[in-house]
Amino acid sequence: MTDPHDEPDLVDDMREEIVGMAKEGMHHPSTKPVLIGAAVGAVAAGILPVVTWPIGLLAGAGFMLYNRVKR
């Protein structure tokens, strides 16, 4: 029987990805897609009347980060 603690955790993977992006900056392969997702989210939030741009920025960046980590 496998131990559930042996499997990689999504939160741990995301934390490792964020630390890698912070250390390597624009040289990290996830930095550009996450920044593009943040920009798209901010623009989309600017168009929508209910959502403010900081929420859109965080949602876009979070979505792209999740897509990069889940692969």
* Domain extent listing, the chain: 9-70
What would the pLDDT profile of 33-71 be if each residue is shown by its tens digit?
999 999 999 999 989 888 898 999 999 999 999 998 886
What would the pLDDT profile of 1-34 be if each residue is shown by its tens digit?
455 566 668 888 899 999 999 999 999 999 999 9
What long-range pairs does 35-43 form, CB within 8 A, spacing at least 24? 35/61, 36/64, 37/61, 37/63, 37/64, 37/65, 38/64
Q: Yes or no: say if 33 and 68 are a contact pair by the CB < 8 Å rule.
A: yes
Tokens 């920044």 belong to residue:
35
